[in-house]
Amino acid sequence: MKIFSILFVCHGNICRSPTAEGVMRARLAQAGLLSRVVVDSAGTHGYHVGEAPDARSVKAAASRGYDLASQRARQVADEDFAAFDLILAADSRNLADLRRRCPAHLQDRLHLMLEPLGEGREVPDPYYGGCRGFEEVLDLLEAACEGWLEQLRSRHDWMAS
């Protein structure tokens, strides 16, 4: 069975990317695809390696039924560029960091998380704001994950069955 892999990336891997991982994991489970798609998250920087997601992310996600509790922050590794079929950055700054590190022949795997919602759209960083920012991030990521899932189904026959 073909396994597809997705890596969500933000700056520190404690807000946006773990939330995206949790949302996509839930969407894949609902679609019966969790055994066919591997989902992970990482940060372009290692400030929070080993830490749990931000408590505000965990709380906001839990209020919508997403469980982030077992996740731990990690930094993007060079091996990730070959290991993941799709690498989704939260914003253009993180995408630029990834592009600098990614081998030329794997650059087509790099995209913005919100690409299904429109070219150039970015997930705002809620870290320094209030709780409403974490809800906004969830709104955006729920819509984007649905968009990515539809794109993947249309491109990969084995996901549609």
Q: Is 131 a catalytic residue?
A: no
- Residue 10: pLDDT band (50, 70, 90) is very high
Catalytic residue among 15, 16, 97, 145: 16
Q: Is 125 a catalytic residue?
A: yes
Catalytic residue among 40, 91, 97, 125: 125
State the Cα–Cα distance between residues 102 and 125, nearest whole angstrom: 23
Q: Contact 71/21 with Cβ under 8 angstroms?
A: yes
The contacts found for 92-100 with CB under 8 angstroms, 24 or more apart, are 92/120, 92/122, 93/11, 94/9, 94/10, 94/11, 94/44, 97/44, 98/9, 98/44
Looking at the predicted structure, is the pLDDT value of residue 15 above 80?
A: yes
Cα–Cα nearest to 14, from 54, 60, 61: 54
Residue 73, amino acid: A
Residue 155, pLDDT score: 85
- Mean of pLDDT values over 63-90: 97
User: Domain range spanning residue 107?
Assistant: 4-160
- Mean of pLDDT values over 65-81: 97
| CATH for 22 | 3.40.50.2300
pTM score of the predicted model: 0.96
Looking at the predicted structure, is the pLDDT value of residue 146 above 90?
A: yes
- Residue 161: pLDDT band (50, 70, 90) is low
Strands 37-43 and 110-112: unpaired
Q: Is 102 a catalytic residue?
A: no
Looking at the predicted structure, is the pLDDT value of residue 159 above 90?
A: no
Per residue in 87-106, pLDDT (tens digit) is: 999 999 999 999 999 999 99
Cα–Cα nearest to 20, from 75, 98, 88: 88
Residue 100, pLDDT score: 98
- Quote the number of domains for the chain: 1
- Residue 123: pLDDT band (50, 70, 90) is very high
